[in-house]
């Protein structure tokens, strides 16, 4: 099997030290072998990006549009192929994998347009004959630290705006899912980017993190709260621009007046699709007493009916957990919840199929209380817990009782209750009668409290992180 290298200064650099990309649906299946970057390679990538920025910052909007648009076109043309790769290496079902690739293509198309929509302002000064210009300029070299759960969409929504606004990039993808990042780098490299504008290094976080924080002008991070907190603190200490998207312990409230089918389907999607590997997944289900018994009964029935299996097999609704480590986290969380008094009404056990994989049954735990660890710590797997409350007031209080605040949902037929919830919930995103996971590519993404730090990602709001505002005065006579 040919070893795939790191993209540094427009060249694929192969190193003797390697690691394998493993299929979580079949751990005997080695998808590819990749070069492990060390300090020398990460430093070289940063130096290449620094040199390329000298000219790329002055590239024309048309040049940036052409590259991003061409990349988006190729991604969309290859969505079936790339979707199959994504499902094979991350464990999403094939429709989910193709859907994520499609989103990545749309992101590049969107930011191609943003490159042409760079706006400024011209104001009259309070002083006669003086003109004021307000413009935006690129930040410089941006370090991207990406997670494994959306291995093409998240690199896309970081790379695309960085390049669109004239920055250069050093990207560190997750070691668990290198294939999609390599393909994305290859597409952009062939789309016409000058050498050094995009660099991709497959390095351990402990190796790449400190070097990126030292050598880049800005860091965009997506990952866990503990790691993100360390990255944030180190970057702030050095005066670097920083953007962190971290965890979620997202609530969905189901009120007595909710449409039962809508509520069950919304929660089922939020909690278990993509094996729960979504920071916007709803893992705390807060249900009012009048509907609780019937809702839990129907949700448990629907949870047990989810078809689990190889991520690329026809009809499979949930693939494996992405790694042995994540599987163990789910096992431990369920065991602890049970020991603390939770009642497992669906799932709670490993599953076995024809191939060795990290299979776990989607798990629903009833009779939990807000103070249980299952309702405090992010599991990041197909595990959801039910908290019973008496009314909307208590539901909002319980929903807000968390150190995180990324996404939240409510299922209700009352416009008043929906409006009250939207206004009072402490989260960056709110869904009404919809799954908590699933945000369009052209709108801002981010949360509050411990979930996010810095400007929002995606959409027009991305420019707040990837550009710097300059105010210029000129005497016009």
Which residues have a Cβ under 8 Å from the Cβ of 261 and sit 6 or more positions away? none
Backbone angles phi and psi of 247, in degrees to 5: -85, 180
Question: Nearest 5°: CA angle at 138, between 133 and 143?
Answer: 155
245 has catalytic annotation: yes
- What is the pLDDT, as a whole number, of residue 145? 98
CA distance 26 to 29: 6
Q: What is the model's pLDDT at position 118?
A: 84
Which entry of 90, 114, 183, 245 is annotated as an active-site residue?
245
Q: Distance between CA 93 and CA 386 in Å, rounded?
A: 26
- Give me 270's structure tokens: 């939020």
pLDDT at 255: 98
- Residue 440 makes CB contacts below 8 A (sequence gap 6+) with none
Contact 464, 254 (CB under 8 A): no
CA triple 449-454-456, angle to 5 deg: 95
CB distance 52 to 168 below 8 Å: yes
pLDDT for the residue numbered 475: 93
Active-site hit among 279, 298, 378, 411: 279
**Which structure tokens are listed for 102?**
């499609």
Q: Alpha-carbon distance 198 to 148, whole Å?
A: 19
CA–CA separation, 341 and 372 (whole Å): 9
pLDDT at 466: 98
Residue 124 sits at φ, ψ, to 5 deg, of -80, 135
Instruction: Identify the three-state secondary structure at position 456.
Output: coil
Domains of the chain: 6-246+451-475 (3.40.605.10), 250-432 (3.40.309.10)
Residues in the chain: 477
171 given a catalytic annotation: no
pTM of the model: 0.96
DSSP E strands in 265-372: the ranges are: 282-288, 343-346, 363-368
Q: What is the pLDDT of residue 477?
A: 73
3-class DSSP state of 238? coil
Distance spanning both ends of the chain, measured CA to CA: 69
Digit-by-digit pLDDT tens for the chain (477 residues) are 799 999 999 999 999 999 999 999 999 999 999 999 999 999 999 999 999 999 999 999 999 999 999 999 999 999 999 999 999 999 999 999 999 999 999 999 999 999 999 889 999 999 999 999 999 999 999 999 999 999 999 999 999 999 999 999 999 999 999 999 999 999 999 999 999 999 999 999 999 999 999 999 999 999 999 999 999 999 999 999 999 999 899 999 999 999 999 999 999 999 999 999 999 999 999 999 999 999 999 999 999 999 999 999 999 999 999 999 999 999 999 999 999 999 999 999 999 999 999 999 999 999 999 999 999 999 999 999 999 999 999 999 999 999 999 999 999 999 999 999 999 999 999 999 999 988 899 999 999 999 999 999 999 999 999 999 999 999 987
Instruction: Give backbone dihedrals phi and psi of 470, rounded to 5 degrees, phi first.
Output: -120, 135
């Amino acid at each position: 099997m040919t070893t795939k290298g790191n993209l540094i200064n427009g060249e694929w650099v192969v190193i003797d030290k390697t690691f394998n990309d493993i299929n979580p649906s079949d751990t005997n299946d080695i998808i590819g072998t990749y070069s492990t970057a060390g300090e020398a390679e990460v430093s070289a990538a940063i130096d290449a990006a620094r040199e390329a920025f000298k000219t790329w910052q002055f590239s024309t909007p048309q040049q940036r549009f052409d590259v991003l648009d061409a990349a988006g076109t190729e991604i969309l043309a290859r969505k079936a192929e790339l979707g199959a790769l994504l499902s094979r290496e991350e464990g999403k079902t094939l429709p989910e994998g193709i859907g994520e690739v499609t989103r990545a293509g749309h992101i590049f198309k969107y930011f191609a347009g943003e490159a042409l929509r760079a706006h400024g302002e011209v104001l009259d000064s309070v002083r006669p004959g003086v003109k004021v210009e307000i413009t935006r300029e690129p930040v410089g070299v941006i370090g991207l630290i990406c997670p494994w759960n959306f291995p093409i969409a998240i690199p896309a929504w970081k790379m695309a705006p960085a390049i669109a606004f004239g920055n250069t990039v050093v990207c560190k993808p997750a070691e668990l899912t290198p294939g999609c990042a390599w393909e994305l780098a290859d597409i952009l490299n062939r789309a016409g980017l000058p050498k050094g504008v995009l660099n991709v290094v497959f390095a351990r976080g402990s190796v790449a993190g400190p070097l990126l924080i030292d050598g880049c002008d800005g860091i965009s991070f997506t990952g866990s709260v503990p790691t993100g907190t360390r990255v944030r603190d180190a970057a702030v200490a050095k005066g670097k621009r920083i953007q962190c998207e971290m965890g979620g312990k997202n609530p969905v409230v189901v009120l007595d007046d909710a449409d039962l089918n809508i509520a069950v389907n919304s929660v089922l999607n939020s909690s278990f699709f993509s094996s729960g590997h979504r920071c916007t997944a709803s893992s705390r289900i807060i249900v009012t007493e009048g509907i609780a018994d019937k809702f839990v009964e129907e949700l448990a029935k629907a949870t047990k009916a989810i078809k689990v299996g190889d991520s690329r097999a026809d009809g499979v609704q949930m693939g494996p957990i992405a790694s042995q480590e994540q599987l163990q986290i789910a096992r431990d969380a369920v065991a602890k919840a049970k020991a603390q008094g939770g009642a497992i009404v669906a799932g709670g056990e490993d599953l076995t199929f024809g191939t060795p994989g990290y299979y776990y049954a989607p798990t629903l735990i009833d009779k939990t209380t807000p103070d249980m660890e299952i309702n405090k710590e992010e599991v990041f797997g197909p595990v959801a817990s039910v908290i019973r409350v008496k009314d909307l007031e208590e539901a909002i209080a319980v929903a807000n009782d968390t150190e995180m605040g990324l996404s939240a949902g409510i299922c209700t037929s009352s416009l008043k209750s929906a409006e009250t919830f939207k206004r009072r919930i402490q989260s960056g995103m709110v869904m009404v009668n919809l799954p908590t996971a699933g945000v369009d590519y052209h709108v801002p993404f981010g949360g509050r409290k411990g979930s996010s730090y810095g400007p929002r990602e995606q959409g027009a709001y991305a420019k707040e992180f990837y550009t710097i505002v300059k105010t210029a005065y000129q005497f016009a006579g």
